[in-house]
Amino acid sequence: MRSEAMCRLLVTHSRRVKLKQFLLNMRAVLWAMFDGLAVLTSSREPRRNLILVIRLDAIGDFVLWLDAARALVHRYRAQGYSVVLVGNSAWGRWAREMGVANEIWEIDVRRFIGNLLYRWRWLHRIRKAGFKIAIQPTYSRDFLVGDSLVRSSCADQRIGSVGDEANIAPQLKSWSDRWYTRLVPATSMKLMELSRNAEFMRGLGFTDFVARVPTIAQISNIGNVGTNWLPRRPYAVLSVAASWQGREWPIANFIDIGQRLVIYGLHVVVVGAPADRCRFFNLFNALQDKVTDLVGKTTLGDLAEVLRCATVVVTNETSAVHMGAAVGSPVVCVLGGGHFGRFAPYETEVTEGDRYLPIFVSVKMECFGCNWHCKYSRQRKEAVKCINDISVEKVWSAVETVLNAHKRLRE
């Protein structure tokens, strides 16, 4: 009887998913018709020495792409082009601070999808700019965002990855494939994102490009992290939130880790976005005066410096993993199976001395690679099974490995 109930639940869930996907596909078709009208009614400047690069995914993806971005911009600048990076507003300001491209145009992705006037203005701006070449290096392309912006550019060359169907329905992908003049081949084998970026770059002709952990250099005079906010003694960073609560290790487990770090002699610094604050009350209450609250108080540039100075960073699978690795901090990450092998664990093509690679802690399951479509039932705000099953002891063992290595370096 229990097995039959589970089967009925899975069938119902499958039907809901299919209906939701159908409605999303219909919306995408309507938006594409709207985009076509926007392009037809927009004026176009003569072709100029402008390169458009479109990268609109999240902060962590941007960090993993940084090496490729720098190589791309350097090559085209040397050829006399000016490079405009159309990026996600979540990290656009930070990219500007780092000087990633000649210009950074920031798009609020949610508004671009949901606000037709906002969408129209962006389509018009990109059409009018007169780009010679448009490049979208994202492997898992998005029909409504990246593909649509490439289409609106009307550039002489429109280059993208052949990609996969993780974020796009097959019929829509077949349609948007035709908006490109060139699709760079990509293996269908699973690749870690650093290797996937290298594959695209080599397909573009950057034959010497290899997959390595990006480096984020310290930017002088950025914020006041070192003088006003951080404790003067050694500290650990806890990054407790994630983009979806199903990917968040239980807060009680982070409290346990925090208390052990305090016993070890470390102060604890908690970081996160402003919207996360309400979820951290129990953590702040448990650690009392042994915790520094930086939730919602740092820019991305500031956060990079907070992570750079940490003895250890303990985090869910979120941007703090990749930022911590890029600034050279020891990172311990609680890793679920939704995208296992895609963004973590790390795989590189070069070894760079004693540079830290993140330590990923997981409990392997046969359903890894589910794209976070978990087949196990859970409460609404509860973590999925592959994350919930990771024990405090397993994570603390990884943290101890980092702390012991740090102790040996000081001796």
pLDDT tens by residue, 109-148: 999 999 999 999 999 999 999 999 999 999 999 999 999 9
Residues 197-216 have a mean pLDDT of 96
From 24-38, 274-288, 363-377, the region with the lowest mean pLDDT = 24-38
Using alpha carbons, list the distances in angstroms from residue 144 to 107, 117, 180.
13, 15, 15
pLDDT tens by residue, 244-266: 899 999 999 999 999 999 999 99
Residue of 154, 229, 175 whose CA lies nearest to 31: 175
Using alpha carbons, list the distances in angstroms from residue 136 to 85, 133, 162, 252.
10, 10, 11, 41
Which has the higher per-residue pLDDT, 167 or 23?
167
What's the pLDDT at 1? 46
pLDDT above 90 (res 223): no
CA–CA separation, 9 and 32 (whole Å): 35
pLDDT above 50 (res 173): yes
Please give the helix or strand (H or E) that residue 234 lies within, else none.
none
Model confidence at 400, pLDDT cuts 50, 70, 90, reads very high
Residues 229-236 have a mean pLDDT of 79
Model confidence at 18, pLDDT cuts 50, 70, 90, reads low
pLDDT tens by residue, 198-207: 999 999 999 9
The pTM (predicted TM-score) of the whole model is 0.90
Residues near 15 by beta carbon (within 8 Å), at least 6 away in sequence? none
Using alpha carbons, list the distances in angstroms from residue 113 to 28, 129, 168, 311, 384.
9, 21, 14, 40, 28
Residue 6 has φ and ψ, to the nearest 5°, of: -65, -40
pLDDT tens by residue, 33-54: 878 877 777 666 767 799 999 9
Torsion angle of the four alpha carbons 385, 371, 252, 327, in this order, in degrees rounded to the nearest 10: 140
What's the pLDDT at 218? 85
Please give the helix or strand (H or E) that residue 410 lies within, else none.
helix 392-410
